[in-house]
Amino acid sequence: MIVRWKVRPLAVAIWAFGGAAWAQDVEMGKQAFAACAPCHAPDQNGVGPKISGVLNRPAGSVEGFRYSRAMKNSRIVWDEKSLDAYLAEPQKSVPGNLMPFSGIADAQKRGDLIAYLGTLK
């Protein structure tokens, strides 16, 4: 199997995923977040909960946001692995959640997005 590496100049994190280490690009993640921005703002609740501080936060725990029962009862603590699974297939990851989003198929794009989310404290 031949592995080709695509190196991006602003790669800031290395993330082990599926047996391969991928360089994550925060700037590309910021661009990917544009698709999330209509519902998720960094510092305030909107259609979706605020997204700053999502890494290491229990799912369904943002004060003042009304979550689905499925999300509140999921017992997920958002880390790179759980966010990746959720962003890939939200309904499979948390069946019954109310986020109307089909997921991001591209693993690199998910990784870049997660790297960007990690910068939002």
The structure's pTM equals 0.81
* pLDDT at site 44: 97
pLDDT digits (tens, 9 = 90+) for 19-31: 344 578 999 999 9
* pLDDT at site 23: 75
Query: In terms of pLDDT, which residue wins out, 24 or 16?
Result: 24
* pLDDT at site 88: 98
pLDDT digits (tens, 9 = 90+) for 86-115: 999 999 999 999 999 999 999 999 999 999
Query: In terms of pLDDT, which residue wins out, 79 or 6?
Result: 79
Confidence of residue 2 (pLDDT cuts 50, 70, 90): very low
Cα–Cα distance, 89 to 83 (Å, whole number): 10
Residue 77 has a CB neighbour count (10 Å cut-off) of 12
* pLDDT at site 7: 42
Residue 75 phi/psi, 5° resolution?
60, 25
CATH superfamily of 12-117: Cytochrome c-like domain (1.10.760.10)
The number of C-alpha atoms within 13 Å of 36 and in the hemisphere containing its C-beta is: 23
Structure token digits, residue 5? 């590496």
User: Alpha carbon 52 to chain centroid distance?
Assistant: 11
